[in-house]
A and B are shown apart, each in its own frame.
Chain A
């Protein structure tokens, strides 16, 4: 059951001129959140912006073994993200959650490959922690425009998560899209002389990236789970705005609400419109 918390801003860290990580005192949400779930956020009480906006829970904060809150990773693109960027300690932000279907976790000997594009890194901190806790070998493929926009690299590597990076300007990792190192690794696994490893590919980022990741995974016979972001009105299944086309058995498609039917879907179930 989701709860609505007037969450106090504990700290707001600017990572770049566009990106920030905001820490929110919302222990009830933190306690109930599974990797891949999201919160609907509204900074300010007025009617502009009117609707909440969805954000993946980035980190679950703990202090002395107790859960104290969550963080959100945000990129400034519109009015709500600008307000989150400008928020200061002591502000309150309305937070409704946790919402949505989480990722399905995999156990060894299967490996987990998390593929993030830009702010699509958001669901992979909690997912990475959960996978590592199960002993699942976990790799983060992380692409951005430039090396300056690759964040939390130490956070992931200090938890035993291997990093494969790419940047569009070539300042860190492979030059180009994140599918470059992903495809190379899928090829390597497929060509292993012994039985190829089972890999679950998790992806979050812009939809063209998700489509490319789902297709390349499928080509190499590996399953994928993608976390989609659609324009969302309520997050509760009430408004039918955030739909995405899902394949029918008969070859057609039907629209599924990504707030309650997702945001995590099997990559092979989606039709990319």
Chain B
């Protein structure tokens, strides 16, 4: 099966991407994983400046999932370009850079800086981090905010622009439409679900930030539904994510309408997951005689069925 995947002008070897914030800057995994075997590596969210992030405790496990409130600790765009990008270029990675700003001007400045850097293949616009007060999510929670930040970035870059959407809104499809209208090349969804866990013995929140983002298999059915809804609302490619842990999960997102997918939490559990996912996709392609994985996208069959006799 041909796994080649196209997101606007960006061509990927396969539809698997390492999700932002779940793969460090990529170089951390270079000893364990050949980065050229992953469709793309999405960087940890970058601001213009360095950020220290939230104090521990930053994660807590919940049933089939985890909450995180890392607070976007990061080295900032300048150190990223100097210290990480040359190594990622040498390793042959396809690099999607996740950018975060507190203001519109910061997003635009980040997009400008990264458009001039060698080895950057696309920009993922973080307008959905639930863990920081300033900026970001305030854009991603409104139609106008999404439109404004995407159209401003589109004006200053030749790179594919992919806003990453939050599920913490009433109607994610209308936000996706707003992104498309503003000229987005694709959208990625979903970021984490705002959530909370409390230690009943101490009556204290388990996270220092009080609330955090829920990820992992617990959120997968909701994320699949949101991808399906967005597929019906927009024409641009969707990068789907939310609790993908095996090849069946990848296929579910693609059939719901995702052109590519991102894997986050599952990479924490198994850093060698990538080759297993690819094997599973190829096996499916063979069993179902599918020549190109792109042919699967959005093929969910919702037609009414004749009742079938199930013999016991």
Please state if B55 and A241 are interface contacts (CB–CB under 8 Å). Answer: no
Residue among A48, A242, A255 with most chain B CB within 10 A = A255
With known contacts A51-B66, A238-B24, A231–B56 Cβ distance under 8 A: yes
Q: Please tell me if B64 contacts chain A, counting CB pairs below 8 Å.
A: yes
A-chain residues with CB within 8 Å of residue B36 when the two chains form the complex: none
Contact partner of B269 (CB less than 8 A), chosen from A50, A237, A243, is A50
Q: Any chain B CB within 8 A of the CB of A110? A: no
Cα distance, A239 to B60, chains bound together (Å): 12
- Chain B residues with CB under 8 A of A2: 31-32, 271
Are A42 and B70 neighbours in the complex by a CB distance under 8 Å? no
Q: Are A51 and B268 touching (Cβ within 8 A)?
A: yes
Are A234 and B271 closer than 8 Å at their CB atoms?
A: yes
A interface size (C-beta, 8 A): 29
| A273 CB contacts on chain B under 8 angstroms | 55-56
A residues 80-119 with Cβ under 8 Å of B?
96
List of B residues within 8 angstroms of A242 by Cβ: 56
Q: B267–A234 contact, CB under 8 A?
A: yes
* Measured CA separation A25–B104 after assembly (Å): 55
Alpha-carbon separation in the docked complex, A160 to B232 (Å): 72
A47-B245, A52-B269, A243-B73 known; A238 vs B28 contact (CB < 8 Å): yes
Segment 223-252 of B: residues with Cβ below 8 Å from A: 245
In the complex, B58 has a CB within 8 A of chain A: yes
Instruction: Look across to chain A and name the residue whose beta carbon is closest to the beta carbon of B70.
Output: A240
The answer on a CB contact under 8 Å between A50 and B22 is: no
Contact yes or no, B28 A237, CB < 8 A: yes
User: How many angstroms between the C-alpha atoms of A218 and B54 in the bound complex?
Assistant: 29
- Tell me the minimal C-beta distance from A37 to chain B in angstroms: 14
Shortest Cβ gap from A245 to chain B (Å): 8
With beta carbons under 8 angstroms apart, the residue of A238, A245, A254, A255 that contacts B268 is A238
A241 touches B68 (CB 8 A): yes
Q: Which residues of B contact A51 (CB under 8 A)?
A: 61, 66, 268-269
Q: Which residues of A have CB within 8 Å of B32?
A: 1-2, 236
**Most-contacted residue by chain A among B21, B24, B55, B60 (CB, 10 A):** B24
Residue A244 CB within 8 A of the other chain? yes
* Cβ–Cβ < 8 Å partners of B56 in chain A: 230-231, 241-244, 273
Given A50-B265, A260-B28, A239:B59 Cβ within 8 A: yes
Is A135's beta carbon under 8 Å from chain B? no
Residues of chain B lying within 8 A (CB to CB) of residue A49 = 61
A243 touches B53 (CB 8 A): yes
What CA separation (Å) do A50 and B218 show in the bound complex?
10
Cross-chain contact A96 with B271 (CB below 8 angstroms) = yes
Residue of B nearest to A232 (CB): B59
Residues on B with C-beta less than 8 A from A245 are 55
Q: Does A4 contact B (CB under 8 A)?
A: yes
How far, in whole Å, are A239 and B31 apart by their CA atoms in the complex?
16
Whether A240 lies near B58 (C-beta < 8 A) is yes
Q: What are the interface flags for A1-17 relative to B under an 8 Å C-beta threshold, 1 for contact and 0 otherwise?
A: 11010000000000000
Q: Give chain B residues whose Cβ lies under 8 Å from the Cβ of A50.
A: 61, 64-66, 216-217, 265, 269
A242 vs B60: C-alpha distance when bound (angstroms)? 11
> Can you name the residue of chain B whose Cβ is closest to the Cβ of A238?
B24
CA distance A237 to B55 in the complex (A): 17
Q: Whole-angstrom distance from the CB of B22 to the nearest CB of chain A? A: 6
B267: min CB distance to chain A, Å: 6
Chain A CB within 10 Å, residue with most, of B22, B60, B70, B269: B269
Q: Does A170 contact B (CB under 8 A)?
A: no
Nearest chain A residue, comparing its CB with the CB of B62:
A50
A223 within 8 A of B: no
Q: Is A176 an interface residue (CB 8 A)?
A: no
Contact A255–B29 (Cβ < 8 Å): no
Question: A147 in the interface, Cβ–Cβ < 8 Å?
Answer: no
A-chain residues with CB within 8 Å of residue B103 when the two chains form the complex: none
CB A3 to nearest CB in B, in angstroms, measures: 9
**Complex Cα spacing A50 to B65, Å:** 7
Chain A residues in 8 Å Cβ range of B272 = 4
CB pair B63–A241 under 8 Å, yes or no, is no
Roughly how many angstroms separate A244 CA and B73 CA in the complex, as a whole number?
Answer: 12
Is the Cβ of B268 less than 8 Å from the Cβ of A234? yes
Residues of B within 8 A of A255 (CB): 52-53, 73
Instruction: Tell me if A231 and B24 are in contact (CB < 8 A).
Output: no
User: A35-55 interface mask toward B, CB cutoff 8 Å, 1 = contact, 0 = none?
Assistant: 000000010000111111000
Contact flags B202-218 to A (C-beta < 8 A → 1, else 0)? 00000000000000110
| CB-based contact A231/B60 at 8 Å | yes
Residues from chain A with Cβ under 8 Å of B24 in the complex: 236-240
Instruction: Decide yes or no whether B270 CB sits under 8 A from chain A.
Output: yes
Docked pose: A93 CA to B61 CA in angstroms: 19
Contacts A4-B272, A231-B60 known; list 18 others, CB within 8 Å: A2-B31, A4-B270, A47-B216, A47-B217, A47-B245, A48-B63, A48-B64, A50-B216, A51-B269, A231-B59, A233-B59, A234-B267, A234-B269, A236-B24, A236-B28, A238-B267, A239-B22, A239-B59
Q: What 9 A-B pairs have minimum CB-CB distances, sorted nearest first?
A: A237-B28, A234-B268, A47-B64, A241-B59, A1-B31, A241-B58, A238-B24, A240-B70, A47-B217
- 22 CB contacts below 8 A, A to B, read A1-B32, A4-B270, A47-B216, A47-B217, A51-B61, A52-B268, A96-B271, A231-B59, A231-B60, A233-B66, A234-B269, A236-B24, A236-B28, A238-B28, A238-B268, A239-B68, A240-B44, A241-B58, A241-B70, A243-B53, A254-B52, A255-B73
